[in-house]
Structure 1
Amino acid sequence: MRLIVPFVATILSFVPALPSGAYLPEASHSGMIHERLSDANRWRDHVMVVAHRAGWKENGKVVRAENSRDAIDHSALIGVEMVELDVRRSKDGALVVMHDATLERTTTCKGAIAEQSLATLKTCRLIVEGTGIVTDEPVPTLEEMLLHAKGRILVNIDNKLEPEDLVEIVATARRLGMADGILIKTAIWNDERLERARSVMTAIGPDVAFMPILADDAVKDTAFVARVARAFHAPATEMINWRRDAAEPLTASGGPLFSPRARAAAIRGNFHMWINTYPITDRPEGMVAGGRGDGLAWSEGQTDAVYGFWIDHGATIIQTDEPEAVIGWLEGQGLRRSYAQIN
């Protein structure tokens, strides 16, 4: 990789080594992650990793049920900073964690989630997609999954509902003492969406981190990016570089959202630039990353052309289906800083 991120002078305070087998206090690790999320400029030499659907794949294959406790456990174990959880509602209004609007692909049940009561959903078991393996985990509620992650790892909420539903999602986290344990987000592409998000965040309050999602089919003006980030004191902006056609060449520049001006805006605004490298089923490789995604990195052995490229263009958070491999690659590049003691 051509670019070496400058070393930041300020370092973490010394933490005494723990005895073998000991665990950090419950809130310690997620608190340290939150610190790095909240102060991008201090930690630009440490690239954070987010496990898509909580961390369900390895080497391109599904090995765990997505959005499961098992996936959270594995992600926390390997050092992932955040797990992404998808939120929907049951027929009786319960917030549940499920990617699809229907149950067939990821559970033992069938039908639309919105047409099933929570009691019915609790009879459905999560499956490891494509393997025939049925787990002992039922469809989880958001509350259950937040409690499972609490203190160990941050939770990136992918809200499959309306932006206004974030108010109840945050209320759930706040009730569990996890206002600082989640990152919420919504797509913003014009002033109308900006004002809608601003209204939602006014109702929520300032104690929860909010991240705008910006896509380069609609957002091309760096000044708008800076204005949106500033409106919410956003610790990060999720950037989409579209490649909808497999015949399109790989992005050579990262597009307007990863331009030198955009990177300068991120530094001035002290926010992280977030790239998604995971694939989307039956769509071109790296569709949301200008073609530079996990498949190109690992199936074709072009890790520098994927993760190196995005880091060179300013990314300091990567959401991936290959979190363990990405962490290993980053460590080999000197782009991870230990959460344990620094001497």
Structure 2
Amino acid sequence: MRRSIFASLALVLAAMTTPVAAEGGRTREILERLENANRWRDHVMIVAHRGGWKEDGAIRWAENSRAGVRHAIALGVEMVELDVRASKDGEYVVMHDDGLDRTTSCRGEVKQRTLAELKTCRLVIEGTGQATGEVVPTLAEMLALTRGDVLVNIDNKLGPDHIAGMIAVARGLGMADEVIVKENVWSAERLAAIRAAVGAAGPDTRFMPIIADDAVEDPRFIETATAAFAADIVEMVAWRGERRQLSENAGPLFGARARAVAVRGDWHLWVNTYPIVNLPSGFVARGRGDELAVQAGFPEEVYGYWAERGATVIQTDEPKAAIEWLESNGYRIPYGLTN
């Protein structure tokens, strides 16, 4: 179609004012796969939990650290998960706990420290107690690090009212498209409240519902929730509960009806394989988690199991092991080879 000179000039001016991140980079390819789930159901995307902090069953990096994120990017993950809280003076920082004791050289609550004070807190590698050269990062700093390389999944530790503020940080960096925020959704009332918060954040907000099988079993509710947000992806929590042994039953969120709903809506099913401290192995993956894959040496019973039951996104503490096994067994398609 022939453009007028005015339309062409408008396009040139828009290109001049568009942030660099929007021009391309690996995130463009990842977003194409994210937004076209049905086209890419033979490719399993990997999310590095807490920014990527473990490998081979051991803690290697401080969680939510630049070093961990850089390593995850080098491995080829599609997304890093970052936990977000706020300082006393309202700045968004990346920190899992409400307290500083476990992961930094400081003590006390995050919300009781100003950003300047938090910038004196060095990140610590849990278990070894080794203090790194990194200090508590802001959300903006971490987003600047990931720009153009991987998507960011924000685990919002502050509640729905903060979704707009977090997206505003990403938008200010020209990265709203590269960030996905999430919240638990379990009822019509909760759905309405979250929908209002997401609407207030703006039309460029990417939102992912979290749905757990201890609260939701009806695929019709899943379909309603995904349609409400035009979601590209849904985090499914498959609780282990009291199960003592592995079962072939992946639960209602990965049953035939739920998978049919995902295909109809053209969205991805996400499963978590990371462990939770002091709880049974695979607690959020029906017993099939990273410990079984890596320490016990049965990756096919974890990464293969979930891929065969429709999961096209796996959040893991073992991104290296997951990627290597999935690639070796035909569950990942290299980037840059298809258009």
Same-fold call, TM cutoff 0.5: yes
Q: Distance in 1 between matches of 2:122 and 2:235?
A: 32
Letter in 2 for 1:306: V
Q: Distance in 2 between matches of 1:173 and 1:206?
A: 13
Q: Residue 134 of structure 2 aligns with which residue?
A: 137
Deviation at 1:38, TM superposition (A): 1.1
Instruction: Give yes or no for contact 1:186–1:197 (8 Å, CA) kept in 2.
Output: yes
* Residue 312 (str. 1) matches residue 308 (str. 2): yes
Instruction: Give yes or no for contact 1:217–1:242 (8 Å, CA) kept in 2.
Output: yes
* Residue 177 (str. 1) matches residue 174 (str. 2): yes
Q: Which residue among 23, 37, 61 is the counterpart of 1:64?
A: 61
Deviations 1:119-166 (A, max 9, x none): 110000001111232111110111111111111111000000111101
Q: Any unmatched runs of 5+ in structure 1?
A: 1-23
Deviations 1:220-261 (A, max 9, x none): 10110011111111001100111134x533242211101011
Question: TM-score, with normalisation over the residues of structure 2?
Answer: 0.91
Letter in 2 for 1:319: Q
Q: Distance in 2 between matches of 1:195 and 1:103?
A: 34
Deviation at 1:25, TM superposition (A): 10
Q: Distance in 2 between matches of 1:229 and 1:249?
A: 32
Q: Which residue among 163, 166, 170 is the counterpart of 1:166?
A: 163
* Residue 204 (str. 1) matches residue 204 (str. 2): no
Q: Which runs of 4+ in 1 moved over 4 A?
A: none
Q: How does 1:35-74 map to 2 (within 5 A)?
A: 35-74=32-71
Q: Residue 273 of structure 2 aligns with which residue?
A: 277
Q: Distance in 2 between matches of 1:255 and 1:123?
A: 45
* Residue 194 (str. 1) matches residue 182 (str. 2): no
Q: Distance in 2 between matches of 1:109 and 1:309?
A: 41
Q: Residue 291 of structure 2 aligns with which residue?
A: 295
Instruction: Give yes or no for contact 1:26–1:152 (8 Å, CA) kept in 2.
Output: no
Letter in 2 for 1:36: R
Q: Distance in 1 between matches of 2:230 and 2:169?
A: 22
Three-state SS of the structure 2 residue aligned to 1:100 is coil
Deviation at 1:298, TM superposition (A): 1.4
Deviation at 1:332, TM superposition (A): 0.8
Instruction: Give yes or no for contact 2:22–2:175 (8 Å, CA) kept in 1.
Output: no
Deviation at 1:93, TM superposition (A): 1.1
Q: Which residue among 318, 330, 336 is the counterpart of 2:326?
A: 330
Instruction: Give yes or no for contact 1:27–1:152 (8 Å, CA) kept in 2.
Output: no
Q: Which residue among 116, 120, 140 is the counterpart of 2:117?
A: 120
Q: Do the aligned partners of residues 320 and 282 (structure 1) sit closer, same or farther apart at CA in structure 2, a change above 3 Å counting?
A: same
Aligned length, in residue pairs: 319
Deviations 1:291-322 (A, max 9, x none): 11000111112212111111111100000000
Q: Any unmatched runs of 5+ in structure 2?
A: 1-20
Instruction: Give yes or no for contact 2:22–2:174 (8 Å, CA) kept in 1.
Output: no
Query: How large is the RMSD of aligned CA atoms in angstroms?
Result: 1.5
* Residue 110 (str. 1) matches residue 107 (str. 2): yes
Q: Which residue among 237, 257, 262 is the counterpart of 2:234?
A: 237
Deviation at 1:206, TM superposition (A): 2.5
Q: Distance in 2 between matches of 1:26 and 1:227?
A: 34
Deviation at 1:270, TM superposition (A): 0.2
Instruction: Give yes or no for contact 2:304–2:326 (8 Å, CA) kept in 1.
Output: no
Q: Residue 21 of structure 1 aligns with which residue?
A: none
Letter in 2 for 1:311: A
Question: TM-score, with normalisation over the residues of structure 1?
Answer: 0.90
Instruction: Give yes or no for contact 2:52–2:72 (8 Å, CA) kept in 1.
Output: yes
Q: Distance in 2 between matches of 1:280 and 1:147?
A: 29
Q: Distance in 2 between matches of 1:52 and 1:114?
A: 23
Q: Which residue among 94, 99, 124 is the counterpart of 2:96?
A: 99
Instruction: Give yes or no for contact 1:251–1:292 (8 Å, CA) kept in 2.
Output: no
